[in-house]
Structure 1
Amino acid sequence: EKRKIVNYEQKDVFKSLATTCIEIIAKHIDDMEALGDIGHINMDKISKILAKQRSLTESTSKLFYNIENTALTLYDVSRLDPPAFHTLTALNPNLEQLRLDYCRGVDSTVLPSFATSLTNLTHLELYGAFLARAPAFIEFFKAIGSRLQGFRLTHSPRLDFDCCQALVQNCAGSLTDLRLSNVGKLEDSWLPLLQRCTSLKRLELSYPGGELSLTNEPIIELLSTIGRGLEHLDLSGHPQLEDDVLIEGVIPHAPNLTLLKMSTVPLLTDAGVAQFFTEYNEKAGFEYLEMKNNPLLSTESLRALLDRSTSIAIRELSINGWKETEEEACKLLSTSCPELRKLDIGFVRSADDYLIKEILSGCPKIEEISCFGCNRVTEACPRKPGVNIYGVEAQSKR
């Protein structure tokens, strides 16, 4: 026998007129000149469909441009070359927030122009800006200065220590949101610089790549300076971080978190994480918690989390890979998390059809359950309208 994976997705049998129109528009995007005014919400839906199709070109991208735009998100701009981004800045001069995914065309000529041409820009998010070199980042930070409130960068091999120094020197006072994810040169020496960013509310320093990792002491020192104002913290993907970061760093210095992500941090222990949840600020309610792919975490960690009076605030939870978590601890999910929307219990061996049933009945707002690798969850597991269940293993004969 071999296994196949079954997903139970709740889809509308009859699509709304708006949904049908959006799909038709996306299919015939090259005829966009005849479309007229569509509206911002529907524009975003069209942008997501085009991203799946990789259909956004220099010509069709103009559908999303407007002199009145203050925010613009394009989910796949991999087919846009540098001149197309100069067109973007010219046709959207009032942008305050700009997000570009798969933006290989953002090179060293384009990046500084975001600061000089978009004079109201305060937030920039880039995914995959591989061609922008260090001098361009430095020029961008110098040009935008104290206007910059949010900077999110994912997958960039060029950003280096000098860039970080320029970011801090020019933007530290105004910066409230910083993401450096999959930035290959990220290391401990950067962290003393970031201590000047005392206005930060959201900080992500994740997945530097390979065996690279930040270490305990520099992280603890950073949190001792900026942690008081943090609401979101993501330190995923650091193979050398240990329990001390939570016990000596987060507990005393970052008491106001609503989001915590420490996935793929394999040295975290069940006893240490349980101690963290037990001793962390009783008034702080985690709404988003992701600690997947940490093989030592198990029953005590989950029990300590769900024993907190504020566990009722949890909206999204991932304990993927907590293999040895006992059934009794998992059952607490249905009675402790009434606000839960999304749950990932992948590779939790005790998860079964009965647990799915309890979650569906005990968590009235649940929308999505992921159970990949849970071979006790079968095709006979309960379902509920409006809830998507992903990863059910079904048996099929060869």
Structure 2
Amino acid sequence: MLTASQQVEATPSGRAPVRKRTRGASIDSDDLDADNIPEAGPSSPAPVAAAIQSTAVNGSGGVQPGPLKPVGEFMDCGQCTKRFTVTAYTKEHPSKPSTFLCVNCCYALGIDPFAKPRKTAVKKKASGKKEDRAKIIHYEERKGVLPLGDLCIQMIGKYIEDVEQLGDIGGINMDKVCKIICKGRRLTTETAPLFYAADRDSLEMYDCTNLNSDAFISMGKLCPNLISLHLHLCGQLSTEALSAWAKSLKSIKRLELYAPFLVRKEGWINFIKTAGKRLEGLLVTQSPRIDLEVVQTLAKSCPNLTELRLAEVGQLNVDCLAALRTLQKLKMLDLSSPGSTLSDEAIIGLLASSGKTIEILDLSDNPELTDLILPAIVKYCPRLHSLSLRNLVELTDEGVAAFFQSLKAQGHEGLTHIDFEKGHDLQDKALHALVDHSGKTVEKLSLLGWRGVTKETLNDLTRCSHLKEVDLGWCRDVTDFTIKDILDSCGKVQVIRVWGCNQLTDAVPRKKGVKVIGIETHTI
């Protein structure tokens, strides 16, 4: 017998030889899945020999169904009855439930043995658990038992096609039914007459997509005493229908239309001339056919206008603004999103002649307007209480701060609605001045896009005691403590929007009756 040192010298590399294991002694899963497993040799461990013997025994009979064992344990194949090792990819037999297949039998049956297993649906936990609370996007959802009247209204809206007449259910309930069927776009030429009546003095429909020109003409004939008419998404309203309204709606004082694309200028001019001094409100959004001639006719024929909206009007320009200077009774003026941006000089000229009565002013989406219009607003609009200057990217922090300081110096009582959305250059000075002037009056405030304002200045919002809705989107320094301070100090707040405020966490404080919308961790 060789000694240990002699064995080392006997090998060419100077290392001791390693005894080679026999295949029968291997417990590798690839060996166990092989087609031919040799008989266990004398050196085979007892467990392996027992496993091979079990395979031979089970091969003569069928495999008993049973649950899938944990990964790493042995099971008998439901097809060939040979033993294999359970993995995370083990597949169930397609025709023998609760039996499972080895790799070779998966291939034989056309099953991918390494396909990712489908995740089983996780049972929803109780709503009180922390995991479920983290998935809530709107913290407060007001739910409760619906009143009997609302249940009846929902039933009517569901089966509106079968309703012959609504009867005397009141104007408020009639409006609720109209909202329900408009939401499902079921306001058609057949269902619309349910809301018509000769004694109605106001009518509001929220989705008129399916109403054709004849339906609009019938509307004017069946509701001849309308004083106020508001139609949303009235894309099929034609020139003929608007001209017919000029004859049938002899009491109309306020007309609000959203998206009357097809009405040509002849229809506008005919209606405006017929309504004349009676018309007090014309609010039009998205009309490509209104041009300078229509605006001139409006300014000449309707001197008693108190509300004027020409939003998203493609042909609105500085010449149109010059024509509007004769209107001396305007309380609401909306010239947002024109086809070509308006100039500072045109806005200043219009405000100088018509601004003394304006209470609501919207000049949004005029990107070329600058700080020059701000002193004109202070000077010519003493009754202003709502201001929207959204997407005026040329406004500066110093200019807006000086604007609110001037309002305060003149003794202006404060604004209730303020929208300076996407004022990317507006920062601490502007917000300080805004709160100093309008902190006690503002109810709706949009600071979306004020990315440079600091968390210390955002704390000034706690002085806004009447604040109901605030948009802090993309104010990067908003934290959980900012939200907590607003919730604690602003007792009337109902909605806080925080899209893009990436410092907020799942620990954002909550308060009953307040929606915090847009927390990033809730959208993942």
TM-score (normalizing by structure 2): 0.72
Question: Which residue is 2:174 aligned to?
Answer: 43
Q: How does 1:1-398 map to 2 (within 5 A)?
A: 6-33=137-164, 35-171=166-302, 173-209=303-339, 212-247=340-375, 249-280=376-407, 281-308=410-437, 310-334=438-462, 336-394=463-521
Higher strand share: 1
Deviations 1:344-380 (A, max 9, x none): 1111111122111111121111111111111122332
Q: How many Å separate the matches in 2 of 1:377 and 1:62?
A: 50
Tell whether the 8 Å contact from 2:243 to 2:270 is kept in structure 1 after alignment.
yes
Larger Rg: 2
Tell whether the 8 Å contact from 1:70 to 1:97 is kept in structure 2 after alignment.
yes
**Unpaired runs of at least 5, structure 1:** none
> CA offset at residue 43 of structure 1?
1.8
> CA offset at residue 9 of structure 1?
3.9
Q: How many Å separate the matches in 1 of 2:523 and 2:291?
A: 51
Percent identity over paired residues: 39
Q: More displaced, 355-364 or 224-233?
A: 355-364
Q: How many Å separate the matches in 1 of 2:328 and 2:167?
A: 45
Q: More displaced, 363-372 or 152-161?
A: 363-372
Q: How many Å separate the matches in 2 of 1:18 and 1:299?
A: 49
Q: How many Å separate the matches in 1 of 2:276 and 2:206?
A: 26
> CA offset at residue 259 of structure 1?
0.3
* Total equivalences in the alignment: 389
Name the amino acid aligned to 1:392.
Answer: I
Shift of the 32–203 alpha-carbon distance from structure 1 to 2, 3 Å rule, reads same
Name the amino acid aligned to 2:222.
Answer: L
Tell whether the 8 Å contact from 1:151 to 1:179 is kept in structure 2 after alignment.
yes
Moved over 3 A (4+): none
CA RMSD of aligned residues (A): 1.7
Q: More displaced, 117-126 or 106-115?
A: 106-115
Tell whether the 8 Å contact from 1:5 to 1:393 is kept in structure 2 after alignment.
no
Q: How many Å separate the matches in 2 of 1:141 and 1:26?
A: 35
Q: How many Å separate the matches in 2 of 1:322 and 1:246?
A: 19
Q: How many Å separate the matches in 2 of 1:122 and 1:26?
A: 30
Q: How many Å separate the matches in 1 of 2:202 and 2:195?
A: 11
Q: How many Å separate the matches in 1 of 2:428 and 2:149?
A: 46
Q: More displaced, 379-388 or 126-135?
A: 379-388
Please give the secondary structure, in 1, of the residue aligned with 2:309. Answer: strand
Tell whether the 8 Å contact from 2:137 to 2:523 is kept in structure 1 after alignment.
no
Structure with the greater relative contact order (CA < 8 A, sep ≥ 6): 1 or 2? 1
TM-score (normalizing by structure 1): 0.94
> CA offset at residue 278 of structure 1?
0.6
Q: How many Å separate the matches in 2 of 1:5 and 1:385?
A: 14
**Unpaired runs of at least 5, structure 2:** 1-133
Q: How many Å separate the matches in 2 of 1:276 and 1:324?
A: 19
Tell whether the 8 Å contact from 2:137 to 2:522 is kept in structure 1 after alignment.
no
Tell whether the 8 Å contact from 2:165 to 2:194 is kept in structure 1 after alignment.
no
> CA offset at residue 395 of structure 1?
5.9
Name the amino acid aligned to 2:278.
Answer: R
Q: How many Å separate the matches in 2 of 1:384 and 1:12?
A: 15
Deviations 1:288-316 (A, max 9, x none): 111102211121111101012x4211111
Please give the secondary structure, in 1, of the residue aligned with 2:326. Answer: coil
> CA offset at residue 147 of structure 1?
0.7
